[in-house]
């Protein structure tokens, strides 16, 4: 089985962190203590991740780097070349984790047998230490395992927060030893003003955002919040120290209302 314990539980999302301001946000995250940067070929932030890493003075092995392969680059013969380019753009020999960004694209379902074979080949070639997927449904994961075999996928990254808890998919991933990485773990601020979360935040002398993050962290899931503000970057990171009681977890668990934030018309048939 793939060892996933090396994926830091709190990552820093880099979508939108472009240019000099983006580099400063990334540096703030690394100075705060984040050791996991999450980028993607489609974000346009791979270069910023590399620049921030170099400026930080941290050793390469101390920072976990994730990137995601776009749909266009999942077409036959493109994936390995695109991952080499991503590594060159970041300025590293390999990333720690390469994900397939979507199992579908705006033009339809992608050829999974082809792109997963190339992803596995990229791992064998040393371009990435771990491989995984993003936005994969249970059916997609089952197809992926039929191609790669069990234990090859390090993680499935998908939207997950107190208002969209994705229990079926979380449980399936756990049953297969696939780590769950939650994107949009703050639901774009939608947890603010919800009485139950506000009350729990008050009890912990914490913010609503911290409680939203702690909810997933306390369940052993990985979260990748982001912000361009130094104070919010530090606030989010501090959520890792919050311990919620079973009763508090249960109260937040009742808030699931399927409030999906990312739902492209061409997306998969969600569980």
Report which of 135, 144, 149 is spatially closest to residue 261, judged by C-alpha positions: 135
Domains in the chain: ranges and CATH: 12-185+222-237 (3.20.20.100)
CB 214 within 8 A of CB 244: yes
**Checking phi first, is residue 242 left (phi over 0); if not, alpha (psi -120 to 50) or beta?**
beta
Report which of 250, 46, 218, 119 is spatially closest to residue 136, judged by C-alpha positions: 119
Task: Tell me the CB-side half-sphere exposure of residue 214, using CA atoms within 13 A.
Answer: 23
Residue 7 reports pLDDT greater than 60: yes
pLDDT for position 222: 98
Burial 228-263 (b: 16+ CB within 10 A, else e): eeeebbbbbbbbbebebeeebeebbeebeeeeeeee
Q: What's the chain's average pLDDT?
A: 96
Task: Give the mean pLDDT of 27-45.
Answer: 98
Task: Give the mean pLDDT of 232-256.
Answer: 98
Q: Phi then psi for 203, rounded to 5 degrees?
A: -65, -25
Residue 12 reports pLDDT greater than 70: yes
Task: Give the mean pLDDT of 207-223.
Answer: 98
pLDDT for position 6: 86
Report which of 46, 33, 25 is spatially closest to residue 98, judged by C-alpha positions: 46
pLDDT category at 1 given cuts 50, 70, 90 is: very low
Query: Catalytic residues, which ones?
Result: 43
Q: SS3 string of 204-230?
A: CCCCHHHHHHHHHHCCCCEECCCCCCH
Residue 37 reports pLDDT greater than 60: yes
Task: Give the mean pLDDT of 216-238.
Answer: 98
pLDDT for position 4: 43
Give the integer Cα–Cα distance in Å for 179 and 175.
10
**Furthest C-alpha separation in the chain:** 54
Task: Give the mean pLDDT of 222-250.
Answer: 98
The model's pLDDT over 109-161, given as tens digits with 9 standing for 90+, comes to 889 999 999 999 999 999 999 999 999 999 999 999 999 999 999 999 999 99
pLDDT category at 14 given cuts 50, 70, 90 is: very high
Residue 214 reports pLDDT greater than 90: yes
Residue 3 reports pLDDT greater than 50: no
Task: Give the mean pLDDT of 51-55.
Answer: 98
In DSSP terms, 87 is beta-bridged to none
pLDDT for position 2: 36
pLDDT for position 5: 53
Give the integer Cα–Cα distance in Å for 36 and 225.
11
In DSSP terms, 158 is beta-bridged to 182
Give the integer Cα–Cα distance in Å for 41 and 8.
21
What predicted TM-score, i.e. pTM, was given to this entire model?
Answer: 0.96
The model's pLDDT over 167-207, given as tens digits with 9 standing for 90+, comes to 999 999 999 999 999 999 999 999 999 999 999 999 999 99
CB 207 within 8 A of CB 201: yes
């Amino acid at each position: 089985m793939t060892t996933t314990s090396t994926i830091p539980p709190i990552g820093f999302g880099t979508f939108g962190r472009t240019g000099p301001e983006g580099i400063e946000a990334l540096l703030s995250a690394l100075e705060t203590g984040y050791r996991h940067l999450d980028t993607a070929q489609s974000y346009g932030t791979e270069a910023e991740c590399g620049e921030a890493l170099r400026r930080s003075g941290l050793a390469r092995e101390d920072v976990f780097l994730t990137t995601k392969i776009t749909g266009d680059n999942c077409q036959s013969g493109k994936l390995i070349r695109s991952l080499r380019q991503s590594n060159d753009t970041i300025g590293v020999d390999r990333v720690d984790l390469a994900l397939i960004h979507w199992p579908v694209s705006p033009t339809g379902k992608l050829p999974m047998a082809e792109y997963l074979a190339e992803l596995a080949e990229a791992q064998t070639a040393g371009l990435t230490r771990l491989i995984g997927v993003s936005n994969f449904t249970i059916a997609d994961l089952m197809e992926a395992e039929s191609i790669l075999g069990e234990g090859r996928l390090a993680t499935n990254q998908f939207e997950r927060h107190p208002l969209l808890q994705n229990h079926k998919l979380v449980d399936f991933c756990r049953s297969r030893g696939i780590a769950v990485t939650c994107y949009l773990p703050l639901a774009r601020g939608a947890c603010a003003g919800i009485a139950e979360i506000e009350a729990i935040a008050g009890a912990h002398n914490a913010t609503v955002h911290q409680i939203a993050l702690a909810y997933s962290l306390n369940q052993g899931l990985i979260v990748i919040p982001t912000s361009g503000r130094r104070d919010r970057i530090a606030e989010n990171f501090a959520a890792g120290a919050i311990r919620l009681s079973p009763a508090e977890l249960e109260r937040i668990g009742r808030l699931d209302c399927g409030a999906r934030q990312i739902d492209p018309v061409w997306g998969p048939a969600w569980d």
